[in-house]
Amino acid sequence: MLIKVCGLRVPDQVDALTDQVDFVGFIFYSKSPRAVEFAPKSMKANRVGVFVDEELSLVKTYIRSEQLDIVQCHGHESPEYCSELRKHAQIIKAFGVGPDFDFKQLSLYTDCVDYFLFDTKTPNHGGSGIRFNWDLLEQYTLEVPFLLSGGIGSTEIPSIRSFKHPQFAGIDINSRFETEPGDKNIEQINTFIHEIRTHQIAQS
């Protein structure tokens, strides 16, 4: 299972996690309380830049300057937008999921993204600390793998273990492991990762 930690701002915390997780997310969205202007350069995990409806030229600049492996498009970016960026980095396209979410729209993105990320639908583009109803993902039938996001904390470990979907690739954690926006509790994250990984090994 892939594990992504998003919204990091403290360099020491990045250093503490880079060997433990697959993706580290840096939010380049000025309206976010977790926004950063640059990402630490030395790390082993894949570097993810999170953007919300940003100009293509600026995202491309960040890909080069911050050595981003992956761009997470967390706004209303079109398939054409994602396709253009995919020439320069892998793409995660995020969608806020609620009871009225139209899964049919995702078919337009299947050839231009590497992962979908399903988050809780909010007006603030994520970071709500609220979990959506994962049963809704029974409606997802495409081949693109996805990450689960939105309100995932230690109490969700049993649900993660029992969640079954052929395209479920991993999880994205953020606000439920914070003392304040952007300041993570590394001890809690390490405990969470250990419990997830230990269960994986036991099941393999």
Annotated catalytic residue within 73, 82, 112, 119: 119
Q: Which fold has domain 2-203?
A: TIM Barrel (3.20.20)
Rg (CA), the chain: 16
Annotated catalytic residue within 6, 73, 82, 112: 6
The answer to whether 133 and 152 have CB atoms below 8 angstroms apart is no
**What is the C-alpha to C-alpha distance for residues 72 and 91, in angstroms, rounded to an integer?**
6
60 burial via Cβ count (<10 Å: 0-12, 13-18, 19+): middle
Q: What is the pTM of this model?
A: 0.94
119 catalytic, yes or no?
A: yes
- Residue 117 one-letter amino acid: L
The answer to whether 72 and 48 have CB atoms below 8 angstroms apart is yes
Indicate the domain borders of the chain. 2-203
pLDDT tens per residue across all 204 residues of the chain: 999 999 999 999 999 999 999 999 999 999 999 999 999 887 899 999 999 999 999 999 999 999 999 999 999 999 999 999 999 999 999 999 999 999 999 999 999 999 999 999 887 666 567 899 999 999 999 999 999 999 999 999 999 999 999 999 999 999 999 999 999 999 999 999 999 988 665 565
